[in-house]
Every structure is written in structure tokens, then in C-alpha cells.
Amino acid sequence: MITHHTMLKHHLQVLLATVLVAGSFISAEFLAPYSNPIALTLLRFILAAALLAPFALYKKEDRAQFIKTLPRASIISLFYSLFFILMFEALKTTSSLNVSTLYTLIPFITGLLCIFVFKQKMTLQVSAIYLMGALATCWVVFQGDIQLIKSFRLNTGDILFLQACLSMCCYSMAMKLLYRNDNKWLLVFCTLLSGAIWMFVALMIMGKPLDWQQLDLPAYYHMAYLVIGTTIVTVYLYQTATVALGPKKVMAYVYLSPAIVAGLGYLINDVSLNPIIIPGILISCTATLLLQKNAS
């Protein structure tokens, strides 16, 4: 039986992972001019898997479980890798603002999929909370600019990114469905290793160059953060918390992402915080809390 203390620990894990992922946008923006995003993600997965290998394969019993764990981890990482691949392709024909806006649909899509996969119900009240959270985060993303909100239009890139959002929801549910009381570090290692394979295949199909030789020392500092903070640590935190809490509760934290990104931008890059977005931040936090309560 999961105690309240354990539940709180898992919620704190998701919150930490959300903060780490928000910080990754700063590093990803810095690294963007050095190489194409798929090649950079491939490098992230390779370095992360290499760092994790000694810990994940140290024990004989873990090495024996490697072959059994890899096929399930490959399915999990397929959805994880597809999210990045589709996102990068979508950004060729859409804006980061549109992507940030559509990303707020992930909790709602996850809730819909849980109806069919886990036989969970979605009441009218919960649907209203999803809508409230999405609108509040959009307010933060658009910086409270009504004209920007009115000018929002879906294009082909947006349709592609909606498929990426669906893939992220499937990634979350696959972690829950395919977990078999595995050694969690071994599962993370297998997920990253197979993710590197998927990224390499995508790179070959698209004919993209690696261009890793372009990276300098500051770039490697940012890459180190992405490898350790937002690849190894966050994959572990999300996998552990999703098994315990379920996809709906974990994905509800997406509503906090724009607020955390804004806060980190203020703290790290001294980007001014527009007071008009504060109501959106407060409402998105409220929506996250309400979804935790309703999903219990």
C-alpha cells in the first residue's frame, strides 16, 4: 500500500522533473545554432546511456535482465523519440509560440486516452479543470496579449505537433503499462539506449549531418546539463512517478511548465516578468492541484 509520505515523494519527483525540463529550454536554445536538433538529441541519448551503463549493468542479475527489458523499453522510447522527431519537423512550418500553446493539450489528451486504456472516467467537472488549465497556460505563453491570441491559427506544422503531443501521452501510458517491477535504472538505461537507436534511424532517413565537431566548451556545459539533468534524471523521475501515480497526475504538471520557464528566465537570464501573466500562473497552479485531487 502506498503511504501519503510516498505519494508526496512522487509528486515532488514530478515537480523536480518539470523544473529540470523547463531549464532545458534555455540550454536547447543556446545549442540550436551548433547542429540540427535530432543530431543533438542523439548525442544526448548516447552520452546519457554511456554514463548510466556502469550503474545499470553492474550486477549480474541486471545484465541477465537486459535482454528481457530492452524490447519493452524500445516501445517506451519509440514514443519518447517520436515526440522529439515530430516536434523538430513541426517547427519547420510553425512557431515556438504555437508549439507551446498546443503542448498545453497534453493533460487533456492523456485524460481521454486513460478512459479507453485504464477505464478511468472523466467527469464534466474534470473537463472544465482541463479547459481552465489550458486557457491559463495559454495566457502565460501569449504574455496576456489579446491580439496574439486572436491571431493564433493552426497550420500543417501544428497538425504535426499535435501528433507529437499524442506520442508524448502514449509514452506516459507505456511507462505504466509496460513496467514489470524492473530495476528502474536498468529500465532508464534501456530506454535511452533504444532511444539513441531510434534517433540514429531518423537521422539516416532524413539525411541530416551530425556536426558534433562544431560544439565548443560552453556548448558542452549546456550539453552536460541536458544529458544529466534533463535526460538521465528526468527520465528516471518520470518513470518512477508514473508507475506510482499514473499518467493523468503526472501529465497534469504540464500546466506549470510555462510559469516555471518564465520564472527561470527571470532568475537566470534576468528576463523581466510581465505582471499580466501572474493570474495565468496562479490559475494554472490551481488547475494542477485540482487535477491531482480529482485523479485520486
Where does the pLDDT of residue 1 fall: very low under 50, low under 70, confident under 90, or very high at 90 and above?
A: low
Helix/strand/coil for 1:
coil
Where does the pLDDT of residue 148 fall: very low under 50, low under 70, confident under 90, or very high at 90 and above?
A: confident
Residues 227-276: tens digit of each pLDDT = 999 899 999 999 999 988 999 899 999 999 888 888 887 887 777 778 89
CA separation for the pair 165, 124 (Å, rounded):
23
- From the number of C-beta atoms within 10 Å of its C-beta (0-12, 13-18, 19+), residue 9 rates as middle
pLDDT at 272: 78
Residues 27-45: tens digit of each pLDDT = 887 888 888 889 999 999 9
Cell of 226: 541536458
CA separation for the pair 52, 62 (Å, rounded):
13
pLDDT at 65: 92
CA separation for the pair 272, 262 (Å, rounded):
9
Q: From the DSSP assignment, how many helices (H) and strands (E) are in the chain?
A: 14, 0
Which positions ≥6 away from 272 have C-beta within 8 Å?
A: 266
pLDDT at 181: 82
CA angle 19, 21, 22 (to 5 degrees): 65
Average pLDDT over every residue of 69-80: 95
pTM attached to this predicted model: 0.88
pLDDT at 168: 93
Share of the chain above pLDDT 70, in %: 99
Read out DSSP for 17-53? Answer: HHHHHHHHHHHHHHHTTTS-HHHHHHHHHHHHHHHHH
Find the radius of gyration of the CA atoms of the chain.
19
Cell of 251: 501529465
Is the pLDDT confidence value at 157 over 70? yes
